Each structure stands twice: as C-alpha cells, then as structure tokens.
C-alpha cells in the first residue's frame, strides 16, 4: 500500500490530545471547526505554525508541525485546495469524516518542528515536553 506524507500545524492542546491517542489520531474538531485541513508540504505547515500558533493563547503560544502518512488511495477522494501561493495546498476533510480519516493513518503522527512564542509554557504531559524541547 502506497502512502503520502501530510503535515498538520497544531497548537499545544491539540498536540496533547494527539499524544493521549499514542500519536495515532487527531482529535475531533470543535463545533466551530467544520473542516480538518492537513497540508501537503512541510514549509506551508511551518509557516502556519510559526505565524498563527505562536502568538495565539488558545494554541498555548506554541506551533507544532506534525507529519504523518496516509493511505494514498483513500486520499484520492479529496480535491487539493490551493489557498494562497503555489505552496499553500491543503486537503479539506469534513469534520464528520475525521474518524474515518484517522483510520487511514499509517504509523504514528510525528513531531517534525516546533515554534515557541514568547508566552509559551510547557505542557502538563512530561513525555510530550521531552519531544517538544528537542526543537528548542
């Protein structure tokens, strides 16, 4: 089975929920979030994590870039959405389909980069802190 690597910028609280799943799935969307949007390249995920998550209190003043592999055949059902320049490509997964999407993740959701805002405070999850602090 072929897989495609996708990226997802997340804040600290969302990363804590991912850690609680043993790095196997993304948590359900909040009621005001109708779409889960993984992005197609690390550069774009880093831009979002650094520019949007680090100044955001709800994100814990922390932008974490995750990478994960998804069954390529399953991904064919989602049209690539371009939301800016040529590198701003993402998939729009309806929130009600996120659990099915999670079932198509192969392996673990990995942390590939972390950006720290000025007001960042460490997670209450010590194992997660160890992974995050490697990027300081």
Q: What confidence tens digit (pLDDT) does each residue in 79-89 have?
A: 999 999 999 99
Q: Tokens 């932008």 correspond to what residue?
A: 63
107-113 average pLDDT score? 98
66 has a pLDDT exceeding 90: yes
pLDDT score recorded for residue 1:
86
135 has a pLDDT exceeding 90: yes
pLDDT score recorded for residue 38:
98
pLDDT score recorded for residue 116:
98
Q: Long-range contact list for 72-80, CB < 8 A, 24+ apart? A: 72/1, 72/2, 72/3, 72/4, 73/1, 73/2, 74/101, 74/104, 75/4, 75/104, 80/40
55 has a pLDDT exceeding 90: yes
| Largest distance between two CA atoms of the chain | 43
Please give the mean pLDDT across all residues of the chain: 97
């Amino acid at each position: 089975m072929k897989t495609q690597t996708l990226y997802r910028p997340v804040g600290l609280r969302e990363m804590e929920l991912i850690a609680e799943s043993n790095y196997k799935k993304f948590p359900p969307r909040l009621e005001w979030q109708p779409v889960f949007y993984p992005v197609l390249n690390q550069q774009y995920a880093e831009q979002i994590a650094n520019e949007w998550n680090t100044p955001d209190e709800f994100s814990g003043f922390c932008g974490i870039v995750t990478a994960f592999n998804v069954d390529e055949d399953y991904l064919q059902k989602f049209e690539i959405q371009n939301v800016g320049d040529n590198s701003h490509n993402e998939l729009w997964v309806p929130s009600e389909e996120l659990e099915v999407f999670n079932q198509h993740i192969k392996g673990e959701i990995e942390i590939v980069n972390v950006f720290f805002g000025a007001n960042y405070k460490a997670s209450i999850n010590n194992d997660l802190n160890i992974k995050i602090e490697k990027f300081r």
